Structure 1
Amino acid sequence: MTLRVGLFGTGPWARLAHGPALAAHPGVELAGVWGRRPQAAAEVAALFGTRPYDDADALIADVDAVAVALPPAFQAPLAARAARAGRHLLLDKPLAATVEGAREVVEAVERAGVRSVVFFTLRFDSASAEWIGRQAAAGGWSTGRADWYGAVFGGGDSPFADSPWRREKGGLWDVGPHALSVLLPVLGDVTSVTAARGPGDLVHLVLRHDSGASSTAVLTLTAPPAAAGVSVEFRGTHGVAAYPEDIAGPATDAFARAVDALTGGEPHACDARFGLRVTEILATAEELLTGV
């Protein structure tokens, strides 16, 4: 059975990952594109051989599922609306800009009985997901570290440099979900959070997990290009497990696996409820940093 999917969003991620993966997926019909700017929606629709929509609700009405590549503050209310209409959800991280927004999505999903997947990239990249799964199965870890040094605003040529929400929310909200998506399945849920600021948007997190383990994370989007990179490791009874460099494949392949997860028989661990939990942890850290 072919899944009719509507794409919501016209930015770089929609053009680089969502659109190509949906258009190429053998089980998907990319039914249309909606964006906040009609001209951009027409451009993206033309790129992938589908039609633009001027009205978001019209596209929701015409599909079985929505794939959302919008800033979190826009994604959450649209996702809740689509779920209430009985549409399955393929969402991006972070799920929402607030805990209340994320909770609204979860409640809509549960009441409607629709499926949801949140695209935490490394959890759908085949090699990365296998590595994470091995560490989770091994157990015995006492500490973990997940550092994301992004150079979106560090003077490079990132396609995301024009993103207002990333500039406002910084590394905590943009790459923080990546770090948490690796730490939580291996070390367990977070029971306490400590947060401190560094230069620019850089944030340090210290986390305690329900397994008894602790972890740290360094998160930024303003690293100099020469200092950019990802570093993940776990230490425990098995020694040291370090995330291999350059293990991840193309984002389009990972997104195709997220589509497969949406249509699979079993709910995926990275569903809207997991997206809510990540949002709760990020919001706690933000409150600590701002003193709210």
Structure 2
Amino acid sequence: MRKSSSERAGYLFILPWLLGLILFTIGPMIFSLILSFSSWDIISGIDSIKFVGLENFKEIFQDKLFYQSLKVTFIFALISVPLYQVISLLIAMLLSVRSKAMKFYRLIYFMPSVIPVVAVSMMWIIILNPEYGILNQALAIVGIQGPAWLQDPSYALGALIVMGIWGIGNTIIIYLSGLQGVPEELYEAAEIDGAGIIRRFFHITIPMISPTIFFNLVMGIIGGFQYFTQAFVMTNGGPMNSTLFYNLYLYNKAFVSFEMGYASALSWILFVIILLFTLLVIRSSSMWVYYQGDDQKD
């Protein structure tokens, strides 16, 4: 009787989360799956939904903008994900050094990640302005004429990638937490054996924080493929579709062209792409992720 009472109390505690999951996650996913095989302009009522089978998917794979958005998103993810991981880890290692002012430095690096993305985007629009932007003015001091960053198709995507370094504070903090979990005894033993800094980094630091790298890598892949807000605010896909990210194209189809069925089909294609890349990383993790206690299991 006591066990049954405690179980009911447990279910009552998780009920709000469970209702939120069903109403705001599972429910919309099922509805979008139905819409992906339908035609609906979102303005008309639900009664106007018309089943069209695989027509949305056939049209998508004949759409040049679909392939352009995929290209932009893949290039962004392939460059930004490893770049952000490397920079975050290096900064985290610097912030792990014991110093009286280290708490202040950690705060400085973390603060940009809590600033609203729209505010950050507006700030970077000013920084990257070709006429009065801070970046081009700084380049002019050393005799370099800066490009029209967000107005030039050759530089717009690169500018967004560089801008992303500003907001890697969350990743830095996670790496810093992982670094602080590495036993000091391992470094001391390796130093006694004559191992240098580079060798200690690759043979102690990297294996010991590999679960942290795995987590940040998965989250980075998911975030990279879902990139939207900065491109929406700063370039809206331009110039010449050079920053037309997949999510931005999906948004335009849903809320600009009012092709909700087409947009739902796009969303499920994106879901499959992210799922495949995530599963690929998970399957490969057994070859490079080390967990304490693995040696004891062997």
Which category of TM-score, normalised to the shorter sequence, fits these structures? under 0.3
Q: Which has the higher helix share?
A: 2
TM-score between both structures, scaled by the size of structure 1: 0.21
Structure with more relative contact order (C-alpha pairs < 8 Å, separation 6 or more): 2
Q: Which has the higher strand share?
A: 1
The structure that has the greater radius of gyration is 2
